Amino acid sequence: MTDRLSGVASAPVSAPPAEWVDAALLAGDDAEVCLHMGRPVTRQELRALVGQQQDMLAGAGLAAGGTAVLVLPPSLTYVATLLAAWRLGAQASLLDHRLARGEIERAMSRLAPQVAVTPTQVNGTPMSGYAEVLPAAARQPAGRPAGTPHALIQLSSGSTGPSKVIARTAADLLWELDRYAQLSEYPGRGERIVLLASIVHVLGLVGGLLHSLHAGVQLAFVSRLTADGIREAVTGGSEPTMILGVPFHAELLTATASGRPLPQLTRMVVAGELTRPGVPAAFTRAYGVPLGSMYGMTELGVIATDLSGLHRPAVAPAPGITVRVGEGELQVKMDASPYVGLVDPTRWNGGWLHTRDAATVDPATGLVTILGRLDSQVSIGGLKVDLTEVEQTLCAVPGVASAVVVFGDAIEAYLVLDEGGSIAGVEAALTEQLASYKQPRIMRALRQLPRTATGKIVRDRAVLRAQASAQ
């Protein structure tokens, strides 16, 4: 296993901002197809598009050391704009376009970008894996330049108060790309990845988009995010192909396996949450290839992998990654804190990132077994949601007196309404405040929340459900 510092040292960390993007992501033959979004996109075309977006951003006043926020759906425009911002030497913040208006307003206020890039026109449906976007770059009068040397800013779902601001430098991204390059089972030049994970979040962004550009892998997006649409994307090229997604996608493909062979398919790899027992074996029976898994975090990217499903449910630390378990929690060696504006020793302390995941490490093999969360974070299709954030948002909705949010197979809310309040009214208000994937799938009104003898709110789903049914 290599030391982290050696990985960093091999990256061009001292190069001017534009050069790391050109050297690590955009270099390659003009005619090489690097992306496929309904049509092939060559490196020559991508470079031209990045140049256009650079002009657009510079026209809005973005320069080296500046800040831009992207609120764009997955699209060629998104890819080109992100690379353009980095090429200018600016700091790019990524906001999921599915966030609710209130969430975006709060994030913009927090991040204070100098330039905001939003779509003026979007062609594509929610069933598509990508969209066609006409963007606009707007100068923000109250925007501030970058206060840190980070290239990438992402927000997490927060358990206490506002979201955490997670920041990564170009060197850190290059270190992650170096880790992917050292994984011999991960696709390399001449191969393809069919990407089902969002390129706004770390798995799809680095494991899909940036790795593909870096390693000469063709990255294919699906026109329809149904099982048939995914299979069509796999058969859309002749190269050996890996599907990259979340466990839901593996279940979808397994449940609807048609028996039609997919000769290009070499493996599927999922991340973002634990895979249900039985799914990997069923997937392999259906498609004749392994279902592998990866474990990672927004703060650091890929941490551990089991790309061929040989160690399930354990995963092996990625090259250069050092882990340990302290008080039952998995910790990962990380020289600098990934958080901006947050001094929380329970998150990062003394060169160790605290994952909040319970885990064990086999002393003989070093394999890591993730056991589950130690806090209130859950994963919805690979997207992290903190139940505390949902509960706090719900409690702040006019008409809600009190609420409890719990998780079984989906987010469930049990609430006491003020006089005149209604479930429909609460649901309507929540759409303005929470992204769709964070909203409770089940919402029940109770006359009062069940409490223990000492007055604590009961968070047992069975008790809450029974009380809702009894009314």
Partner 1 sequence: MSEPEDMSERRAPSRDEIVAMLATLGDRPIEEVGDQIGSLELTWLVTQIEERYDITLDLSDEDLSRMMTVSGAVTALRDVLAEAGRA
Nearest to 371 by CA among 325, 411, 421: 325
Q: Which of 125, 148, 422, 452 binds partner 1 (CB under 8 A)?
A: 125
Q: Which of 442, 445, 458, 463 binds partner 1 (CB under 8 A)?
A: 442
Query: What does DSSP say about strands 218-221 and 33-36: parallel, antiparallel, or unpaired?
Result: parallel
Q: From its phi and psi, is residue 14 left (phi > 0), alpha (psi between -120 and 50) or beta?
A: alpha
Q: Does 248 bind partner 1 (CB under 8 A)?
A: yes
Q: Does 464 bind partner 1 (CB under 8 A)?
A: no
DSSP state of 122: E
Size of the site for partner 1 (CB under 8 A): 29
Q: Does 103 bind partner 1 (CB under 8 A)?
A: no
* For partner 1, the closer CB: 297 or 383: 383
Q: How far is the CB of 366 from partner 1 (least distance, A)?
A: 32
Q: Which of 52, 109, 148, 256 binds partner 1 (CB under 8 A)?
A: 256
Nearest to 75 by CA among 1, 130, 31: 130
Q: Does 259 bind partner 1 (CB under 8 A)?
A: no
d(CA 39, CA 28): 19
Q: Does 352 bind partner 1 (CB under 8 A)?
A: no
Q: How far is the CB of 257 from partner 1 (least distance, A)?
A: 11
Q: How many CB atoms lie within 10 A of CB 425?
A: 15
Query: What does DSSP say about strands 192-195 and 241-245: parallel, antiparallel, or unpaired?
Result: parallel
Q: Does 127 bind partner 1 (CB under 8 A)?
A: yes
Q: Does 158 bind partner 1 (CB under 8 A)?
A: no
* For partner 1, the closer CB: 100 or 108: 100
Q: How far is the CB of 248 from partner 1 (least distance, A)?
A: 5
* Token pair in block for residue 106: 């709060």
Q: Which of 440, 446, 459, 464 binds partner 1 (CB under 8 A)?
A: 440
Stretch that binds partner 1, among 15-23, 122-130, 291-299, 351-359 (CB under 8 A): 122-130
Q: Which of 2, 109, 422, 436 binds partner 1 (CB under 8 A)?
A: 436
Binding mask 24-53 for partner 1 (x = CB under 8 A): ------------------------------
Give burial (CB, 10 Å; 0-12/13-18/19+) of 97: buried
Strand partners, 353: 332, 348
Stretch that binds partner 1, among 74-82, 248-256, 284-292, 325-333 (CB under 8 A): 248-256
Stretch that binds partner 1, among 120-128, 286-294, 320-328, 452-460 (CB under 8 A): 120-128
Q: Which of 139, 189, 285, 441 binds partner 1 (CB under 8 A)?
A: 441
d(CA 56, CA 12): 27
CA angle, 122 then 128 then 129, to 5°: 100
Tracing tokens 């030391």 back to the chain, one arrives at 3
Q: How far is the CB of 68 from partner 1 (least distance, A)?
A: 27
Quick one: three-class SS letters along 402-427?
EEEEEECCCEEEEEEECCCCCHHHHH
Binding mask 412-431 for partner 1 (x = CB under 8 A): x--------------x----
CA angle, 18 then 20 then 24, to 5°: 130
Q: Which of 65, 162, 319, 381 binds partner 1 (CB under 8 A)?
A: 381
Q: Does 228 bind partner 1 (CB under 8 A)?
A: yes
Q: How far is the CB of 385 from partner 1 (least distance, A)?
A: 11
d(CA 86, CA 22): 10
* For partner 1, the closer CB: 6 or 226: 226
362: CB partners within 8 A, 6+ apart:
314, 368, 369
Q: How far is CA 441 from CA 215, 412, 430, 461, in A?
A: 40, 6, 12, 14
* For partner 1, the closer CB: 172 or 273: 273
Q: Which helix (H) or strand (E) holds 294?
A: strand 291-297
d(CA 260, CA 27): 37
Binding mask 51-80 for partner 1 (x = CB under 8 A): ------------------------------
Q: Does 181 bind partner 1 (CB under 8 A)?
A: no
d(CA 328, CA 351): 18
d(CA 264, CA 262): 6
Q: How far is the CB of 279 from partner 1 (least distance, A)?
A: 10
Q: Does 139 bind partner 1 (CB under 8 A)?
A: no
What residues from 267 to 286 belong to the interface with partner 1 (CB under 8 A)? Answer: 276
Q: How many CB atoms lie within 10 A of CB 69?
A: 25
d(CA 451, CA 289): 50
Binding site residues, partner 1, CB under 8 A: 98, 125-127, 224-228, 248, 251-252, 255-256, 276, 380-381, 408-410, 412, 427, 436-437, 439-443
